[in-house]
Structure 1
Amino acid sequence: MADRVYNFSAGPATLPVDVLEQASKDIVNFKETGIGLIEMSHRSKEFMAVAADTESMLRELMEIPDNYKVLFLQGGASSQFFMIPMNLLGTGKKATYLNTGTWAKKAIKEAKLFGDIDVAYSSEEQTFNRVPLKDDYTIDADSEYLYFVSNNTIYGTQFPSFPETEKDLIADMSSDILSRKIDVSKFGIIFAGAQKNMGPAGVTVVIIRDDLLDKAPANTPTMLNYKTHADKDSMFNTPPCFAIYGVGEVLKWLKQQGGVEAMEARNIAKAGLLYDCIDSSDYYRGHAEVTSRSLMNIPFNLPSADLEAKFIAEAAEVGLMGLKGHRSIGGCRASIYNAFPTEGVEKLIAFMKEFAAANKA
């Protein structure tokens, strides 16, 4: 097998090698059953155990209270943009949204189909280079919930602390779930697509407080009603079996690394190395304001677009892949999720220093 490269892609993102190696065996012959994981029935006792163990491990690592359901859904995190307002709003109901990037903006567009949406904050005019402070917005007293995106992959911003409100907090944590300790009891719903920090693409995890399951209007389609899936333990229809398995294997790996608290310390250290490199140079420039910087996604620019293209091409030649920034802002971006190794960050920093020295005017 060719040497593995360092994968800085924003998602689907790098996974632990141990997980990939185990999956390569289980796809062919799952636990010596003589059948591959992706061909066995989702109703089999073997797969039911996989799903149960995955949920149990997630509950343990995130310290999820008993009055929350864990759902494994399909349709990507983008389907939650409409499922949330479809289940929680209705005629005459209102919700508050914070617009801090592309995914928040998309969620706002969908939510407006189902209720009165108040966009209480937007950093769009600043190219989404920051998240709000608590005094930057007010929440309408009639709002059912406050919706925000905890980490913005494209613009490299992240809420260092979460909004405080008596309203239900709804958070899209697709790109930073399990990267730092959180108090799940502060939220009504947390959801996340797996493909950035939890596993392979194909499953979206929804953590929802029990009382919210009964809020859906009577005309909510069966498959889009959270209660449908909660009542059947995510087995109402055939679930994304391999993706659920993959999440379970990543969770086992995460526990072996010391859990979420240990991973948070590692993430702070990794991001700190790269931000120090950017800040100590007049050649590189970060996109996000310092107080809003993400630990997961670090976009940066060089003196010109031509140099950025050269940087990305030459980095790929030495095994530093996926560094092209999102088309909406260009430049470069290093995504360094939980599974991304510290040595990959160190190699990128060394390359950045060499490139700057060789390409200064």
Structure 2
Amino acid sequence: MALPFLAEAGSTPRIFNFASGPGVMPAAVLAQAQRELFDWNGSGLSMLELPFTGEDFKSVMWRAQDSLRALLAVPDNYRILFMHGGASAQFSLLPLNLLGGAERADYLETGYWSRRAVTEARRYCAVNIAASTGGTDFDRMPVQEELHLDPGAAYCHYTSNETANGVQFHRVPDSGAVPLVADMTSDFLSRPLDIARYGMIYASSQKNIGPAGFTVVIVREDLLGRAHPATPTLFDYRMQAEAGSLLNTPVTFAIYLAGLVFQWLAERGGVAAMECRSLARSAQLYRAIDASVGFYRCPVQPAHRSRMNVCFMLADSALTPLFLSGAARHGLVNLKGHSMLGGVRASLYNAMPDEGVSALTAFMRKFAEEHAHHV
């Protein structure tokens, strides 16, 4: 059986990067960055060299923030911050900034990364596990009726998409009067959002935003100014908001690339168009899994499957290394599952070409045909 993504015998296959992060970048963005690397906007300087206090970089920063605000229709009473570090840093900075005088916070425990957030939050406050699906190995997200919320909590935190477990919320939890906070690292910009339902959203950059190195924080203005006195100035949301995310040298090149990604998204129909593509690509891959008659198995309940990170197992786990090495030879790289969970994981971020999913499903069918006797 010929695989459609191979040009001819002996040729080098096109590379499709299914890494969970840093993830695939839009080819058009990389090409523009390459063209501008030595001379940005006729300045004679690389973006890597522009002073962050100069008007040139400030214009890049403001344009990126404005583009993001337009993409998500962010209301005027929310501030967009570009902060150092990944989402894991926000696991600490969130309670430091939002607890105020409260001592408790609600957390939904739905997989590997929300559990990490819970562990860190417990260093700063009493954590109420408002819901957990750990009893079924995180094979689904909790429904609204399962939430046991604390009305005295400073905020309610959830992870919208669990990268390691392959589960995703397809609705927004209702936290009542308690500010809702979401770690949207792995599905940010993949679908429209009603920002007004949230007190704060954060997402590290290495999935759908751009290269690793910073985190986008979108926070409602009334939640600023609550930071614990011991919070470092650089990590105080209010201080960063007042300084326009320029309290110290930001990750200038990463922000520049993120701005190019935001423009790329807008030119292709924005987040609504990304959602349509995400639905189609993930459905194609899940159909291939479900049609394999048990050769491949997704442990996640269908209604809770992630559109961003498709996790599955082979019926004979001994075949997994062979599957991964064979896929890599055909240009399908970085498919290994999370180190704690194993199996296979295909991350379908916005920049993943549709051809990449077609190539993967074709390889999966061929591999299953060749190894059907193992099932």
Task: Judge same fold: TM > 0.5, yes or no.
Answer: yes
Query: Cα RMSD over matched residues?
Result: 1.2
The answer (yes or no) to whether the contact 1:229–1:236 under 8 Å persists in 2 is yes
Q: Secondary structure at the match of 1:204?
A: strand
Q: Quote how far apart the aligned CAs of 1:12 are.
A: 0.2
Read off the aligned partner of 1:353 and give its amino acid letter: R
In the TM superposition, what is the alpha-carbon distance from 1:99 to its structure 2 partner? 0.6
* Bigger mean CA offset, 338-347 vs 91-100: 91-100
Q: Does 2:331 align with 1:353? A: no
- Look up the equivalent residue of 1:96 and give its one-letter code: D
Q: Which residue of 1 aligns with 2:298?
A: 286
CA contact (8 A) 1:92 1:116 kept: no
The residue correspondences of 1:156-175 to structure 2 (distance < 5 A) are 156-166=166-176, 167-175=178-186
**1:255 corresponds to which residue?**
266
* 1:70 positional shift: 0.3
- Is the CA contact (8 Å cut-off) linking 2:202 and 2:217 kept in structure 1? yes
Structure-2 residue corresponding to 1:53: 63
Could you tell me which of 214, 236, 241 is aligned with 2:252?
Answer: 241
Structure 1: any 5+ residue segments left out of the alignment? none
Superposed displacement of residue 3, structure 1: 6.5
Provide the C-alpha distance between the structure 2 equivalents of 1:242 and 1:40, rounded to a whole number of angstroms.
9
Residues matched between the structures, number: 360
Question: 1:304 offset after TM fit, Å?
Answer: 1.8
- The match for 1:182 is 193
Match of 2:125 among 102, 106, 115: 115
Please say if 1:329 is aligned against 2:347. Answer: no
Q: Which amino acid in 1 is paired with 2:340? A: S
Deviates more, 1:19-28 or 1:190-199: 19-28
Q: CA deviation at 1:91?
A: 6.0
Matches within 5 A, 1:65-214: 65-89=75-99, 93-166=103-176, 167-214=178-225
In structure 1, the residue matched to 2:287 is 276
TM-score of the superposition, structure 2-length normalised?
0.94
Which letter does structure 2 place at the counterpart of 1:184? I
Which of 209, 216, 227 pairs up with 1:216?
A: 227
How many Å apart are 1:106 and its aligned residue? Answer: 1.2
Contact 2:107–2:128 at 8 Å: present in 1 too? yes
TM-score (normalised: structure 1)? 0.97
1:302 and 2:314 are equivalent in the alignment: yes
Superposition deviation, residue 221 in structure 1: 2.3
Q: Which amino acid aligns with 1:144?
A: A
Looking at structure 1, the residues matched to 102 and 190 of structure 2 have their Cα atoms a distance apart, in angstroms, of 37
Matched residues in 2 for 1:73 and 1:278: separation?
Answer: 38
Separation in structure 2 between the aligned mates of residue 239 and residue 108 of structure 1, nearest angstrom: 28
Question: For residue 333 of structure 2, what is the amino acid of its counterpart?
Answer: M
4+ runs deviating over 4 angstroms: none
The percentage of aligned residue pairs carrying the same residue is 42
Q: Secondary structure at the match of 1:143?
A: coil
- 1:4, CA displacement in angstroms? 4.6
Q: CA deviation at 1:92?
A: 5.0
Residue pair 1:94, 1:118 contacting (<8 A) in 2 also: yes
| 1:16 and 2:30 are equivalent in the alignment | no
CA-to-aligned-CA distance 1:6-46 (integer Å, 9 cap, x gap):
00000000011000011112221111211101011011211
Contact residue 90 and residue 115 of structure 1 kept, 8 A: no
Contact kept? 2:105, 2:153, Cα under 8 Å = yes
- Contact 1:90-1:114 at 8 Å conserved across structures: no
Task: Kindly state the Cα deviation for residue 125 of structure 1 after the two structures are TM-superposed.
Answer: 3.0
Structure 2 counterpart SS, 1:131: coil
**Secondary structure, aligned partner of 1:214:** coil
